[in-house]
């Protein structure tokens, strides 16, 4: 009897070891990279259907860590890169690959050029058409975005009219696409990238990533239209990982460099000896430093700004300016902030219950500007 029990125990142990070994062997390349290195690189490409899906209108290099952080770096489409011994624009590299082998060919070329120029090896790619972008925003119920200046553009040939006024705007999918694609502010692709980051910050300010991950309609729509080499098993792994992220987990940057005009057009010239990780480490340090706050009293209560400043200072904020707002009848308080300061904004939202929170393009002197409305009177 004891001998039989021993044999059964050995069989069970062998089965357990076999199952564990099998699960390890069947881990996907992404899961293996996450476990081995703690992170994985990937590419996000936004395609413009107006251009027959042959041009990468937006290129983002992403790095996702197993510790729950997401770093996104926008690469200007006019970025000058070396490819096959020639200097050319990075979106032209994608176009050449796309013309031969479709989306896979375009993304494979992007991966090669990123490895050659920046010593980064993206493991996966995800490509989305702008038409899907519109549908997703509409499914979210739109998004409120602060626009720092009037935006007007009319293309008679393309029958495109963009007319957006300065201030807080509620955008549906169509208007959102106009906002993130606008290039007629004298800053070209860099201005557009900044607006795209501001737009992303507005989305994260509306709901956390985990809330979007809970919406099956959004997930189904994206997965049905997404062109990617992420495997099914990896998609579920990423979904679970993203569900643990909050606004502070996402850091957004632009490829360091500067504009330069040459024969044949203008380019974005990357900074020499660029180090992707060091760039983001710098961003993390900026997240931790004490931020500068300006308070604007908009509820008409004398001394309210000083009283609220005392509360903010207790939470570690550096209130350096207290003034009256442009009017004294704000019913709700409003926060404007510089893109990238998500952890501080989440704290303000949680500690004081201010719901109207918008990123803004101008850096200025202050990191955060708060208009104090009547909704804060009873809480002060």
Q: Say if residue 279 is in the same domain as residue 308.
A: no
**Which residue reads 């957006």 in tokens?**
164
Residues 221 and 359 in one domain: no
CA distance linking residue 108 with residue 123, whole number of Å: 10
Residue 206: per-residue pLDDT: 64
Same domain, 340 and 224: no
Of 68, 78, 179, which Cα lies nearest the Cα of 130?
179
The residues that bridge with 260 in the sheet, in sequence order, are 267
19 falls in which pLDDT band (50, 70, 90)?
A: very low
Shared domain check, 293 and 277: no
Q: Which domain holds residue 350?
A: 289-376
Which tokens is 281 given? 């480490």
Do 107 and 241 lie in one domain? The reply is: yes
Please tell me whether residues 83 and 99 are part of one structural domain. yes
Confidence of residue 108 (pLDDT cuts 50, 70, 90): very high
Here the tokens at position 269 are 């010239």
The model scores a pTM over 0.75? no
Single residue among 261, 285, 309 that ends a domain in this structure: 285
- Dump pLDDT digits (tens) for 125-164: 888 887 888 888 898 888 888 887 888 888 766 567 889 8
The number of domains in the chain is 2
Question: What's residue 341's pLDDT?
Answer: 55
What confidence category does residue 283 fall into, taking pLDDT thresholds of 50, 70 and 90? very low
215 or 173: which leads in pLDDT = 173
Of the listed ranges 136-140, 196-200, 260-264, 269-273, the least confidently predicted one is 260-264
Alpha helices in 38-172 (DSSP H): 90-118, 130-139
Same domain, 119 and 237: yes
How does pLDDT run across 194-252, given as a tens digit for each residue?
888 888 877 776 666 667 767 778 878 877 778 888 887 777 777 777 766 655 567 78
Q: How far is CA 230 from CA 36, 125, 212, 223, 336, in A?
A: 18, 7, 19, 11, 36
One domain for residues 261 and 296: no
Closest residue by Cα to residue 318 from 358, 289, 341: 289
CA distance linking residue 8 with residue 2, whole number of Å: 10
Among candidate residues 44, 114, 77, 72, the one with its CA nearest the CA of residue 253: 72
Which among 31-40, 229-238, 293-302 has the top mean pLDDT? 293-302
Residue 222 within any structural domain of the chain:
yes
Comparing 17-26, 104-113, 260-269, the range with the smallest average pLDDT is 17-26
Quote the CA–CA distance of 38 and 64 in Å, as a whole number.
9
Same domain, 230 and 328: no
- Strand, helix or coil at 42? strand
């Amino acid at each position: 009897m004891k001998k039989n029990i021993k044999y059964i125990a050995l069989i069970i142990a062998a089965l357990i070891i076999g199952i564990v070994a099998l699960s390890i062997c069947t881990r996907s390349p992404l899961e293996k990279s996450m476990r081995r290195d703690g992170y994985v690189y990937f590419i996000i490409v936004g395609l413009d259907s107006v251009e027959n899906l042959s041009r990468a209108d937006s290129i983002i290099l992403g790095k996702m860590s197993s510790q729950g952080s997401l770093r996104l770096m926008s690469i200007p489409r006019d970025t000058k890169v070396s490819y096959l011994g020639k200097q050319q624009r990075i979106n032209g590299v994608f176009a050449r690959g796309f013309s031969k082998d479709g989306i896979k060919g375009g993304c494979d070329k992007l991966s090669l050029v990123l490895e050659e120029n920046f010593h980064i090896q993206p493991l996966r790619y995800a490509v989305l058409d702008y038409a899907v972008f519109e549908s997703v925003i509409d499914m979210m119920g739109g998004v409120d975005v602060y626009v720092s200046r009037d935006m007007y553009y009319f293309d008679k040939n393309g029958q495109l009219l963009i007319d957006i006024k300065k201030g807080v705007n509620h955008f549906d999918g169509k208007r959102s696409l106009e906002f993130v694609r606008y290039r007629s502010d004298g800053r070209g692709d860099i201005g557009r990238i900044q607006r795209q980051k501001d737009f992303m910050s507005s989305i994260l300010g509306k709901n956390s990533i985990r809330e979007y991950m809970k919406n099956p309609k959004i997930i189904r729509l994206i997965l049905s239209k997404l062109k990617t080499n992420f495997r099914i098993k990896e998609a579920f792994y990423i979904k679970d990982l993203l569900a643990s992220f909050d606004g502070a987990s996402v850091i957004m940057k632009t490829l360091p460099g500067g504009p330069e005009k040459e024969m044949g057009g203008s380019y974005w010239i990357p900074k020499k000896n660029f180090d992707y990780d060091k760039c983001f480490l710098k961003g993390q340090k900026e997240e931790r430093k004490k931020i500068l706050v300006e308070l604007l009293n908009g509820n008409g209560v004398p001394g309210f700004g000083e009283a609220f400043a005392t509360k903010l200072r207790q939470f570690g904020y550096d209130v350096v300016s207290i003034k009256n707002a442009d009017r004294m009848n704000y019913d709700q308080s409003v926060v404007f902030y510089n893109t990238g300061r998500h952890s501080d904004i989440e704290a303000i939202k949680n500690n004081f219950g201010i719901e109207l929170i918008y990123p803004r393009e101008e850096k200025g002197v202050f990191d955060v500007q708060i208009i104090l409305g009547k909704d804060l009177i009873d809480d002060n």
